[in-house]
Homo-oligomer: A and B are copies of this chain.
């Protein structure tokens, strides 16, 4: 049954090769002071930086740079970005990069004019935004997080080893995002496939809940089938535009609130993965892949009919002459084979996790309800051990 909800998604998307040409008409809607946010500088090597800067200059903008956003943006970096926004009376934050850069931009947008410590207010206490929000636009160069069309922003505090995501309301969604699949071509293979699994995890973590009949699950199955098909092609041929463009579009719809409608979610793979990320600084998507098989095999008995449906509808398992358990297990086997074929990291040891870290990672895992099984701390530890 579809529960009650509000749907509002105000982000304007420009999609396709060459879509950066729409940046000037968006820039024209904002004041002259632009904070240009990016990461480690790969956009300078692949030429995207030059293209964006040319558009900014041609639009008469005064550009303040905020470079060096790290894969897991820190609270210290957040404070620095807020200071830059205030000192320069920033009218628009333009994020050029992947999910970390977009997340960081949104975190700065809500935090710059927060009258108290934004980490305390928006992350530890998860309060609603009640201060001025600086508008954000994105030029996406890496797919996976869906950050280009949602209100989420994950920030990490290295001191307390906490990596926390806050899902803000629709006024924190980017005002516009530019999605050119060609901009994602230069990403190293390891990060590309990690992004593919991040997308898959987003869909699965919304799919695996509920015993009702919900249209959102049918849409999720469509997205999953398209993702599996296109990611297999892209893994072999990263410059296949058809595959990369489909994946870029799937990533956006995997986490822009649509397939969560009428659903409950516990996001436990992300909760465990984020805690691993706070300990290891591993690539986000790989923290998810490394724990997923242990997690899904652990919860399978609590959501057996859905795992059966997943096997048949998504992985094409033939259910004839098999028990429900056999069909469900075969679905997960096919998923695991697909993951190994992509070259995903399948254990947390490979991410640098040691036996000594397990207690800390378990302590840093936020346990949520909304899925098929509310985990306890012992189960989190067991899943981590199974994932080593």
Residues in B whose Cβ lies below 8 Å from that of A367: none
Q: How far apart are A325's CB and chain B's nearest CB, in angstroms? A: 23
Residues in B whose Cβ lies below 8 Å from that of A10: 10
Given A221-B222, A222-B221, A226-B218, A5–B9 Cβ distance below 8 Å? Answer: no
Residue A58 lies at the interface, judged by CB distance under 8 Å to chain B: no
Enumerate A43-74 residues with CB–CB distance to B below 8 Å.
none
Report 26 cross-chain contacts, Cβ distance below 8 Å, ordered by A residue.
A1-B241, A1-B245, A2-B246, A2-B249, A3-B16, A4-B15, A4-B16, A4-B19, A5-B15, A5-B16, A6-B12, A6-B15, A6-B22, A8-B12, A8-B13, A213-B230, A213-B246, A214-B246, A215-B226, A215-B253, A218-B223, A219-B219, A219-B226, A220-B222, A221-B222, A245-B262
Enumerate A240-274 residues with CB–CB distance to B below 8 Å.
241-243, 245-246, 249-250, 253, 261-262
Closest to A249 in B: B215
- Bound CA–CA A4/B249 (angstroms): 11
Total count of chain A residues near the partner, CB < 8 A: 44
B17 touches A6 (CB 8 A): no
Residue A41 lies at the interface, judged by CB distance under 8 Å to chain B: no
Q: How far apart are A1's CB and chain B's nearest CB, in angstroms? A: 4
Q: How far apart are A213's CB and chain B's nearest CB, in angstroms? A: 6
Q: How far apart are A150's CB and chain B's nearest CB, in angstroms? A: 14
